[in-house]
Every structure is written in structure tokens, then in C-alpha cells.
Amino acid sequence: MNFKGLCKQITKSLNGKGFVAACDDMEEIVFSMPSKSLLPLVTEIGTIPEDIPHDSSEEKLYAKMADCILARCLSGLGLKATVNRERANCADVVARSVFHGYALVGDAKTFRLSRTAKNQKDFKVKSMVDWRGDNEYALLVCPFFQYPRSHSQIFGQALDGAVSLFSWEHLAFLLAHSIRETESVNLSAVWNITKDLAQTTSVAHKNVSFMVEQDRALCRIVGIDVSELNKTFKRFKKTMIRRGNDGIAFWENRMAEIQRMSRKVAITNLLSALKLDEKIASIQKFIGFLEEGE
């Protein structure tokens, strides 16, 4: 199943089912697919399609699908990974080394290309420190090109909390080169790069991006030239440009549809989009609660 087919499955799974049952569907689909089908999904999953409504059940199920793909990637790297059922106050994924006994928590991030500027709270690096608990490592996975380019508090937070700022691109790179943990291959050094970088980073520079240094360290650990990782980044860039053009076309079509609407239909759609009835009902419910107590 390709990425578009998997996105269509989101709507199909939600039809006539509750959210939990739909999540079960997506997890079963992702974990049952052959390894060769995984890489194309990893290449796309970091970007939410514009035709998935914002803050909808579809968007929430898309996030769950990203959790499943992250867990499936870690399984492909030789770890035993599971998706957490509870979304609140915990990491999305927990993975354990079958051979070397360590454990890590992972958090999958996806963003829209139409999203405005992100801040450090969007990455939840500090939360990852808490979510790690007794596990040895914490792994944040988001689109590489969505990380801040030069300076950000998230870099200092990652260094202070030993949180690995990983990406879907990094996972694709490891999987494409058949990197896999075995009895003789221990990948713990990959998840520990940020902690090692913290020992050589001064306080004055701790909020400076360390992604270049991290990339070099990753390639050194797995024994692959960094030029190969750069090729992975270039392929992802091409995919993101295509996805960006798809997003532009989607919103241009929506603009054209709105321009063709009658005044009455346009007003009705605007009121629905603003959810004003729901806002009024919520306030009325709260007032009713207060009046009952008089």
C-alpha cells in the first residue's frame, strides 16, 4: 500500500467504527506490510496532507498512523517496538533491545507545510525527558527540514535532557542501508549521540543547531559516508517540493470553489467553519451549570 492508499484507509477505517477500532486497523495494516513497502511511507509520513481537515478525527488517526510507522521502523532496525494506547502524558512508542537490554521512548511528529512558524513547545523536548522515565533513551522523530535551522531552545533542551533529535530522514537512511541491531551490533550509540555532544558543547553555544555534528556522528557509528545521508536528504527535498505543490493546488482549488459560491452558501459555510453554534452552546451550558447552583 502506498502513501495515498494509506491516507484513504484513514477515512475508510473511521467509517462506521469508533476511533479505537480505527487505530487498531491502522496498526494492523502498518505492522503487516512487507519491509520494502515501509520506506516510501517513511518518506511521506512527516507531512500531513492538506486535504485532511485540521483538528479532525482524520488528523488524529493520521498521528496514530505516524506512531505505528515509527514503531515499525524501530522494529525494522531490530528492536521490539510497541505503540502506546494512551496519548496523554506519555511517549507514542516504546522500544526495547532484544539483544542488549536497553529501552527507549519515541515520539512521532508530523507537520503541515501550511503551518505557520513553530516554537519550542511544538517539539515537546522537555516532555520527552519526563516521558523517558526509567528507559535509557528518548527519541524525537520529526521531519528534518522542520527543525529550526540555526538557533533554538530545543537544541539546548535536548543537550540538557539527552533527547535525540532524530528525523524520518534519518530512519529512512538507516533502513535503506539495512542497518539492524544484532547480537554483535549494538545501536545504543546512535540513540546516545546527543548526550555525547553535550559533553563537548559550551554553555554559550548550547542553543545552536548541532544537526551537522549529529549527522557526522551517526554516519561514523554505522560506518557509512556522510555523502550517502546527504543523498537521502536530497531525495526527501524533492518529495517535499512535490507535496508542497500538491498542497498549493489543493488550496487554490478550494479558493476557486469558494469564489463560485452564492452569498448564502458562502455565509453558511463560514458559520460552520467558525463553529459559532458550538461556541454559543458551550457558553450556555456553562451558564446553566452556574445557574443550577444558585
> From CA 152, how far away is CA 140, in angstroms rounded?
15
Interior CA angle at 84 toward 78 and 89, to 5°? 125
Q: Could you identify the residue written with the cell 505557520?
A: 116
Q: What is the pTM of this model?
A: 0.89
Quote the percentage of the chain above a pLDDT of 90.
61
Domains of the chain with bracketed CATH: 3-231 (3.40.91.70), 248-292 (no CATH)
Contact 228, 220 (CB under 8 A): no
Reported as a single tens digit per residue, the pLDDT across 153-195 is: 999 999 999 999 999 999 999 999 999 999 999 999 999 999 9
Contact 95, 104 (CB under 8 A): yes
Contact 91, 128 (CB under 8 A): yes
Nearest-CA neighbor of 197 among 182, 208, 181?
208
Q: Provide CB contacts within 8 A for 91, sequence distance 6+.
A: 84, 105, 106, 107, 128, 131, 132, 138
Reported as a single tens digit per residue, the pLDDT across 73-124 is: 999 999 999 998 765 667 789 999 999 999 999 999 999 988 765 777 888 8
Contact 159, 128 (CB under 8 A): no
Average pLDDT of the segment spanning 48-59: 91
Nearest-CA neighbor of 83 among 65, 62, 59, 61?
65
Neighbours of 254 (CB within 10 A): 12
> From CA 44, how far away is CA 188, in angstroms rounded?
26
Average pLDDT of the segment spanning 134-155: 92
